[in-house]
Chain A
């Protein structure tokens, strides 16, 4: 699209940006958006919400009251059951799902939970998950079936799912909190809302992917419509839908943990939060590990059942296994009446290494202070600050060791001009113009770029990447952000997210390439990223906060730790799953390993890598909101403030803002990936 016009567009934008920067005094309203133009929707939203609550509040409260019963029952049951009985059940469940190794893992995990004295809290969290998952599955299944059968329904459902999955988790909590009032119901409702979309997607995918010959075979055998659904389609889609169950369970757990931020629940998420707040790092790490273990246990068990080889002889064996288990549970339950240690883990046996851990950490932090500070400061001064406030402000004798005198500015301009000229001579005019534009932005700093310039740049980018539709969408979205008066926070969020994504993408792609070329690296990397991905967001924060304290740097590190996963995964997957015909052909022509990688594999894997970038951005935005807890500014903080004050308007506006940014980034990267796929004539049904 308009490839030839690109150098002119980008060059022109660079010139305009620079001109606005220089003549800021003459055109102040083009540089920073005038306050008088802002029409914040927060008051109107609050008024509307109040009206809504006045009318429908009692209905929601009633529903909330109803929902409390199952939670109460589940928590009561898990609370009454002796730990030994619950453990036996879960261990056998692990065994049934995928064998002895998982059973052992489950046993060790549960012993850990009981051993460090957080059994009750763990069970309280688990109880909410146990209630929310079936409900989320039912809702997801319903919408999924509808979407699988009706193309029109699918067209309505899909964007709805996009919205539900891109609105930050915190933002969900707010309206739910207002509607249902404080209590465990909030966590339940939020986790149902957050966890049902994966089930919808997998149901639609599974039902639609049933080979036509299988449904035809059913029809030919004389299936009635309901037989066709229950006996043919559904069983044939089973594998895919069980993956949906796995994803729904994980989403549910992560939301249950996040929801504990509103407090009042004696669960494991609350425990982590309060220990982080009290700076008890040893404790928070121990408890965080419990969450990670719960996540891994739930993940492995549901995944085990989802991928289980159904060919193995079952029924009779399974019946016997569960018979014996039930017997063992009853016997243990009775025994626990005689032996209290089997009922409640004895305090004497609680193992608490937290004090020692705190001491060790203190030792490291005190003795390693210089190294830690050096890392933190150099990242801050040389990468983050320049992007945030620009070289023009970041470079000072205190930070860089020299002042930004006119000769140095001239030198910067010369280097930029030189590099751009080199690119231009090589026939890459678009690249040259982008280098110039980027350098201008870097000099001014993202937060200081005149809003008109940033605005126009983003709209032009959407137009060039994905055409008029997205350009209009982007324009509307940006207009919303700026008129709603959250532009400064938006830019801050863009900056944090941008830094994180930049680093993730650079290192993630590099690691992915390395892993694709080396079996050893792949074997090392894979378990790490698998673990990172199942880790609830809070937990990822803990180690970074421990070492680097709160602040932007910590937030960026947490974003990186979480969002680097898809960059690695998609790159490796894309590189490893190229059509063998192509690589064999290149090998036969005599490509060296380097040529193969750079001239054949990487270009062909580009669609997959772009999808990785897409996921990286979405992940980064998701983590950004959580990172607001450790002291970042931007939209995440706004959501957090809204949640804290119960201010629906403020929180929702920021939440929608986040979602809007995520959706634009999503559409842009999807468009690039899709265009590449079409150019290569390949499809990438990835992962």
Chain B
């Protein structure tokens, strides 16, 4: 659904060979390698497990670009929460590098880290993590209070984000007086109050009812379209990941199984584990006009045209009304080709059977 950006911005945050091992002397497994154990990372992880220690993250590497929503998806126990905590050093990684604008966060001193957290990052938690003793306004202003921002200024700033998440009027309410959805709006507002460059969301909507969850996802996308933060978003819900991700990583047992755009994952699952998730996904939600258009076909003038990023779900009713097909346009309004009803039917039939070969 969401447009994969054709032009990718520069890298904001980079996670390089990050390991988190729980054991007596976890560092001993990485003497001198700093996590870069070469191609045999899986074997190395297995060796550690065999020694009786717990591998929470194994050789995790990925980049998050400026303005990108990067989703980490995995079932519970797959290590996704650990990795997002490693990124913010709430959990200290055993080995690896975390580069923010090219600078390694893991070598920062305590004071540098505190400053970094105060000004550069915001985080939203699954169970909200609101301060029970503070009202909405004070909760949102809390990070600013820690920085020592004067009362008037921080309240003005907090008010701005409260308005952004549409909680205006609830400033003096206390967390327990709010519904789950409203509490998470407070959580979101608080994480945005410091105007962070990096925005971490750890299963922010998992504790909410399905209907509210949907609403909050839309809300989140709206906010992101205004603010263009660099985002790491954790979820165990594959459909949620599809809805919001620019790119996503699937994790299992602490390892990253596959990274790519949602459509890449669906069309080219790396293994059966990934395929398990993709099976349930309605293809019309994922495939876009650009994925199935036959290049080269001349568009008859007068045909209705859509953008290449339009999903098939949106395309279907249009096709029903236009027997001659729909023209597909790429960047700069260049016509890529024409799609007819039959193309859509055969593409859907092929993906259902799992036989569709890579469609770029």
Contact = CB atoms under 8 A, between A and B. Distances in A.
Nearest to B194: A221
B129 A221 contact: no
A217 interface: yes
A236 B146 contact: no
B123 A220 contact: yes
Nearest to B139: A217
Contacts of A211: 127, 129
Given A217-B190, A222-B146, A222-B147, A235 B133 contact: yes
Interface size class on chain A is 20 to 34
Interface in B116-172: 116-119, 121-123, 125-135, 142-143, 145-147, 172
Contacts of A220: 88, 90, 117, 121-123, 143, 191, 200
A222 B129 contact: no
Contacts of B174: 310-311
Contacts of A235: 131-134
Nearest to A220: B123
B146 A221 contact: yes
A238 B132 CA distance: 10
B106 to A, nearest CB: 16
B320 interface: no
Nearest to B187: A217
Interface stretch (A223-231, A280-288, A511-519, A679-687): A223-231
B68 to A, nearest CB: 20
A627 B8 CA distance: 83
B127 A227 contact: no
Nearest to A234: B133
- Most B CB atoms within 10 A — which of A221, A231, A235, A311? A221
A213 B127 contact: yes
A232 interface: yes
A221 B133 contact: no
A8 interface: no
A645 interface: no
Contacts of B177: 311
Nearest to A311: B174
A227 B144 CA distance: 12
Contact of A213 (B118, B125, B143, B190): B125
A236 B118 contact: no
A231 B146 contact: yes
Given A227-B146, A236-B133, A217 B115 contact: no
A213 B131 CA distance: 10
Contacts of B132: 214, 235-236
B90 A219 contact: yes
B223 interface: no
A218 B147 CA distance: 12
B176 to A, nearest CB: 8
Contact of B117 (A214, A222, A311): A222
B114 interface: yes
A224 B88 CA distance: 15
Nearest to A228: B146
A216 interface: yes
Contacts of B145: 231
A222 B115 contact: yes
A211 B118 CA distance: 21
Contact of B130 (A217, A223, A224, A231): A217
Contacts of A221: 117-118, 142-143, 146, 190, 194
Contacts of A224: 114, 146
Interface in B41-69: none
Interface string B100-119: 00000000000000111111
Nearest to A313: B172
A156 B117 CA distance: 36
A221 B193 CA distance: 10
A416 to B, nearest CB: 56
B162 to A, nearest CB: 16
Nearest to B142: A221
A310 B177 CA distance: 12
Contacts of A213: 125-129
Given A214-B131, A310-B133, 14 more contacts: A216-B90, A217-B123, A217-B130, A217-B131, A220-B122, A221-B142, A221-B146, A222-B114, A222-B119, A222-B143, A222-B146, A224-B146, A232-B131, A311-B173
Which 4 residue pairs spanning A and B have beta carbons closest together? A222-B118, A213-B129, A221-B143, A217-B129
Interface of A: 211, 213-214, 216-224, 227, 231-232, 235-236, 238, 310-311, 313
25 contacts: A213-B125, A214-B129, A216-B85, A216-B123, A217-B123, A217-B125, A217-B129, A217-B190, A219-B88, A220-B88, A220-B117, A220-B121, A220-B200, A221-B143, A221-B146, A221-B194, A222-B114, A222-B143, A223-B114, A231-B142, A235-B131, A236-B131, A310-B174, A311-B174, A311-B176
